[in-house]
Chains A and B, each alone.
Chain A
């Protein structure tokens, strides 16, 4: 733990004399009762840790108090109407401030919120407080919500994932290994008929899932209904060819709820096991689609399109671990949570933190992984994380070592770009996956022996050999922008 900011330079703490406290005029936030350094957080409080960058000359404790104030009851001046309420309990309380190691000018600020501040089962309501006005507050240059602790009492008001990863596996009849998927490429331009060809080839070759990309909705080149018809033909043919349950995430993201319900209903009629939405549809729409999925025994896949606009920069926005917690409460079954080794942002330990949030029954505080609080999930179902973006069969040992079995590994380019075709690409990935799981279970150290395990499998599987040869030099070894600042994090060795 880092050193707390000492209270010595703090002039003026909470004014407890009511007459003085509620005299008209302007007070410092900490004088108004938003800074309570001896506060003992209660089991029923929502706890947040913000990373704040106060403007020059703004005292960090006052800034923390301001965050507590602006995300709960405060306005810029004293109002007498506070005295009509039990305002002491409505005020959020900043209770600790620490400088961020290695980042001068930045501070972690811990804030506690009473349960009464939030509407049960509503992410929209929770976010309107916690990431509402406060993020535009002028005395702060920047503000980031790093992590959140949802009390059990509040967690129980959410229904969570419609299916959950355990029941998903039972429905799919797939156990003891990561699931395999691929996103259909090119993302845009394929006719529905050509699109279904890619679905069929990938699934017949050995993938469990194919996937619409986030921006495949219903454009001029491919009407959604046409796509669903051709895709489901490919899915059913592949199920017969392999004897396995197969699926393809049909993206029902659309302009209105009515459109989304219409598309989801059609997917259900055609027998799809899964539908998909994008994060950009918004919290209320997500919770509505979760209800629909629960009613219809449907797996709900969440593509996190758009999150990078507010999760990526360390100084300002909302950490993805917070988004992941909200999504687990709101109710999705799959969630793109990063690859660490692929083309998209993600430091390995930070990404493992997101996976823990998705899959744990109880998430332990783990500062190097960016987890600031213990989180009891109160038996809420678990979300299946999805690793997608610039990964290929040659990284199988790293992926399984980092993420274990409960993950969907999605090789889009790494399947469709295979030199011998889509089926061969799928075979390469499936053989690499099964060989690695088998070797790990046999007690081998896949992190170090991985490459030779893959080479051994490639001796009986030509498609795997071709994949390894084609992509052997591909890695995306750039420094991550989003790392926990509590400990030095190792980068992934290639």
Chain B
């Protein structure tokens, strides 16, 4: 169990709020679509803060302008990976941005084991830090129970 005030992984835009309902997720998706963003569903069982590339549940949905369609893809991903972290990401292709505009977690494992810090003491009281996931030593797909 993670020991921060939320007791869970706090990545993404809304981790400090109660879990968003599907209706609330749809409102966020609509907001992104109104800005011209393309939505994408991604999942992982290795949420290390610098694990940038979660698995893609298909490509970003560039031509999908309807929140219901995005929710359908989200549901399919959740059904396939019920114990994984799943996030929604919105891509903005505007010149000078060309990056991610929104990102929030929409599915979590029942128990979130979190991470520990490994310290390697080196010269001059200096330290080399490694942040390691408690579940990460097990193979992909088996980290949060079968």
- Residues on A facing B (Cβ under 8 Å): 166-167, 169-170, 173, 175-177, 204-206, 229, 232-233, 236-237, 239-245, 269-271, 361, 379, 382, 423-424, 426-427, 430-431, 434-435, 437-438, 441-443, 457, 460-461, 463
The interface stretch among B58-66, B123-131, B138-146 is: B123-131
**A205 and B49 contacting across the interface, CB-CB below 8 Å:** no
* A-B residue pairs in contact (CB < 8 Å), sample of 25: A167-B99, A173-B50, A176-B102, A205-B4, A205-B5, A232-B127, A236-B131, A237-B117, A239-B131, A241-B2, A241-B115, A242-B9, A242-B10, A243-B10, A243-B48, A243-B49, A243-B114, A434-B15, A434-B17, A437-B14, A438-B20, A438-B24, A442-B27, A442-B28, A442-B31
Question: Which A residues are CB-close (under 8 A) to B115?
Answer: 239-241, 243
CA distance A5 to B103 in the complex (A): 54
Question: Which A residues are CB-close (under 8 A) to B50?
Answer: 173, 245
CA distance A242 to B10 in the complex (A): 6
Question: Which A residues are CB-close (under 8 A) to B117?
Answer: 236-237, 239-240
**A437 and B5 contacting across the interface, CB-CB below 8 Å:** no
Pick from B9, B18, B101, B128: contact of A176, CB below 8 A. Answer: B101
Pick from A170, A229, A244, A430: contact of B127, CB below 8 A. Answer: A229
Main SS class of interface, B: loop
**B114 and A241 contacting across the interface, CB-CB below 8 Å:** yes
B97 within 8 A of A: yes
**A170 and B100 contacting across the interface, CB-CB below 8 Å:** yes
Interface string of B1-33 (1 = CB under 8 A from A): 011111001110111111010001001100100
Q: What's the nearest-Cβ distance from chain B to residue A345, in Å?
A: 30
CA distance A236 to B116 in the complex (A): 9
**B4 and A206 contacting across the interface, CB-CB below 8 Å:** yes
Q: What's the nearest-Cβ distance from chain B to residue A406, in Å?
A: 10
- Residues on B facing A (Cβ under 8 Å): 2-6, 9-11, 13-18, 20, 24, 27-28, 31, 47-50, 52, 89-90, 95-104, 114-117, 125-129, 131
CA distance A465 to B49 in the complex (A): 30
Q: Besides the contacts A205-B4, A236-B131, A241-B3, what 17 more A-B pairs have beta carbons closer than 8 Å?
A: A166-B97, A166-B99, A170-B100, A175-B89, A177-B13, A229-B127, A232-B129, A239-B115, A239-B131, A242-B2, A245-B50, A361-B95, A424-B5, A438-B13, A438-B14, A441-B31, A461-B16
CA distance A239 to B16 in the complex (A): 16
**B2 and A175 contacting across the interface, CB-CB below 8 Å:** no
**A423 and B131 contacting across the interface, CB-CB below 8 Å:** no
Given contacts A245-B49, A270-B127, contact A175 B28 (CB under 8 A): no
Given contacts A236-B117, A269-B126, A270-B127, contact A438 B28 (CB under 8 A): yes
What is the chain B residue whose CB lies nearest that of A245? B49
Question: Which A residues are CB-close (under 8 A) to B98?
Answer: 166
**Residue in B4, B17, B49, B131 with the greatest tally of chain A CB atoms within 10 Å:** B4
Main SS class of interface, A: helix
Given contacts A229-B126, A236-B129, A441-B31, contact A206 B102 (CB under 8 A): no
**A233 and B127 contacting across the interface, CB-CB below 8 Å:** yes
CA distance A242 to B4 in the complex (A): 6
CA distance A204 to B6 in the complex (A): 10
CA distance A437 to B31 in the complex (A): 11
**A175 and B16 contacting across the interface, CB-CB below 8 Å:** no
**10 residue pairs, one from A and one from B, having the closest CB atoms:** A176-B102, A441-B31, A243-B9, A240-B115, A236-B129, A361-B96, A175-B103, A240-B117, A442-B27, A242-B10
**A240 and B102 contacting across the interface, CB-CB below 8 Å:** no
What is the chain A residue whose CB lies nearest that of B97? A166
What is the chain B residue whose CB lies nearest that of A427? B5
Question: Which B residues are CB-close (under 8 A) to A424?
Answer: 5
What is the chain A residue whose CB lies nearest that of B103? A175
Q: What's the nearest-Cβ distance from chain A to residue B116, in Å?
A: 6
Question: Which A residues are CB-close (under 8 A) to B96?
Answer: 166, 361, 379, 382
CA distance A423 to B5 in the complex (A): 8
CA distance A424 to B48 in the complex (A): 25
CA distance A175 to B90 in the complex (A): 9
**B31 and A443 contacting across the interface, CB-CB below 8 Å:** yes
Question: Which B residues are CB-close (under 8 A) to A245?
Answer: 49-50
Q: What's the nearest-Cβ distance from chain A to residue B44, in Å?
A: 12
What is the chain A residue whose CB lies nearest that of B134? A240
**A176 and B104 contacting across the interface, CB-CB below 8 Å:** yes
Question: Which B residues are CB-close (under 8 A) to A434?
Answer: 13-17
Q: What's the nearest-Cβ distance from chain A to residue B132, in Å?
A: 8
**A427 and B103 contacting across the interface, CB-CB below 8 Å:** no
**A435 and B17 contacting across the interface, CB-CB below 8 Å:** yes
Q: What's the nearest-Cβ distance from chain B to residue A431, in Å?
A: 5
CA distance A426 to B3 in the complex (A): 15
CA distance A240 to B15 in the complex (A): 16
CA distance A170 to B11 in the complex (A): 13
Q: What's the nearest-Cβ distance from chain A to residue B3, in Å?
A: 6
CA distance A244 to B103 in the complex (A): 13
Q: What's the nearest-Cβ distance from chain B to residue A376, in Å?
A: 12
**Residue in A206, A379, A424, A426 with the greatest tally of chain B CB atoms within 10 Å:** A206
CA distance A281 to B129 in the complex (A): 31
Question: Which B residues are CB-close (under 8 A) to A242?
Answer: 2, 4, 9-10
